[in-house]
Amino acid sequence: MRKLLIFLCLSALLCSCKAISSIIHDDQVVASVGEHKLYKSEIEQFIPNMIPAEDSARLARQYINSWATDLLYLQVAESQLSKAELDVSADLENFRRSLLKYRYEQRYINDRLDTLVTDAQIRAYYDAHQTDFALKRPVLKVRFVDVMKDSPNKDAILKMMTSKEYNDVQRAETLAKSTALRYFDSSDNWMDAAELARSFGLDYTEMLTHLKGDMIRYEPADRGDLMAAYVLDIRKNGIAPLEYCSSRIRDILISARKHELMTSLERDLLENALESNNFVIYQHE
């Protein structure tokens, strides 16, 4: 009688668990690997709304294949690896320690790092490390336009973008943005020649062969547009201008401060632990 009661209780519990599972996953199973099942609702969370049906189907297939691949790898690994290889407890512990160390380091740095870098500090570093800022490629200040050759506004844009008058430059930008293919003004910031060359679709050395006076003009033979860059200033060699290096110097100074903070943290941890006997080095003869 007692065994019968236990059997009935277990049966009821099993049925209850199956009912709960049915409620939780009351949607369509789209794939399975062994006992693992992938439900339609899980895929729907991954696929963005309002995309074409073919894109939706492709993303669904990618998700299903990725889900199955992970589980199949796990099955093979669990069946093929030795008991020692299956034991990942040491790896998990090392990862946990590294993760906690990293999180504490980030909090320590965020609480103490001084991110204010003055112009004087940037200038001092620049002056003390001139050779670190030797130019590998020319840098330029330019205004660039890409406009159709038959555009009625082409000549006006080209003329006004080379003007020294502020109003002319503003009119050139307004006109170019409404009628040209592309336009940007980097007259206040230095650009790497390679970056500018990408706008022309050329190597920077080839681009510079089209520099005549203060204008770079390039007309692709197989297209109907004209690309032009008005060069306000160019530095072809020597030391890069300070304003071009400022952002990089700021990053260098902040990185050095981070390194100093971490060094002091490690030193303080060791010294405090030794003083409190939390860290003991044993001497053996």
Q: What pLDDT is recorded for position 139?
A: 98
Query: How is the chain split into domains, by residue range?
Result: 34-80, 135-235
Distance of CA 115 to the CA centre of its chain: 21
Q: Would you give per-residue pLDDT tens digits along the chain (285 residues)?
A: 454 444 444 454 444 444 444 445 557 999 999 999 999 999 999 898 888 989 999 999 999 999 999 999 999 999 999 999 999 999 999 999 999 999 999 999 999 999 999 999 999 999 999 999 999 999 999 999 999 999 999 999 999 999 999 999 999 999 999 999 999 999 999 999 999 999 999 999 999 999 999 999 999 999 999 999 999 999 999 999 999 999 999 999 999 999 999 999 999 999 999 999 999 999 887
- Which string of DSSP letters, residue by residue, matches 167-228? HHHHHHHHHHHHHSSEEEEEEEEEEEHHHHHHHHTS-HHHHHHTEETTEEEE--TTSSEEEE
Query: What CATH number should be reported for the domain whose range is 135-235?
Result: 3.10.50
- Whether 133 and 240 have beta carbons less than 8 Å apart is answered as yes
Label residue 30 exposed, middle or buried (CB < 10 Å: 0-12, 13-18, 19+): middle
Contacts 24+ apart (CB under 8 A), 75-81: 75/33, 75/34
Annotate 132-153 with b (16+ C-beta within 10 A) or e (fewer): ebebebbbbbbbbbbbeeebeb
How far apart CA 80 and CA 86 sit, in angstroms, is: 9
The per-residue pLDDT for 4 is: 42
What gap in Å lies between CA 146 and CA 216, rounded to an integer? 12
Cβ count near 43 (within 10 Å): 19
Give the helix ranges, DSSP H, for 81-184.
83-86, 89-112, 119-128, 154-160, 166-179
> What is the model's pLDDT at position 26?
59
| List of residues 6+ apart from 90 with CB closer than 8 A | none
Closest CA to 193 of 227, 162, 230, 235: 235
Checking 116-122 for CB contacts under 8 A at 24+ apart, the result is 117/249, 117/250, 117/253, 117/254, 121/253, 122/242, 122/246, 122/249, 122/250, 122/253
d(CA 153, CA 167): 17
CA distance 260 to 255: 9
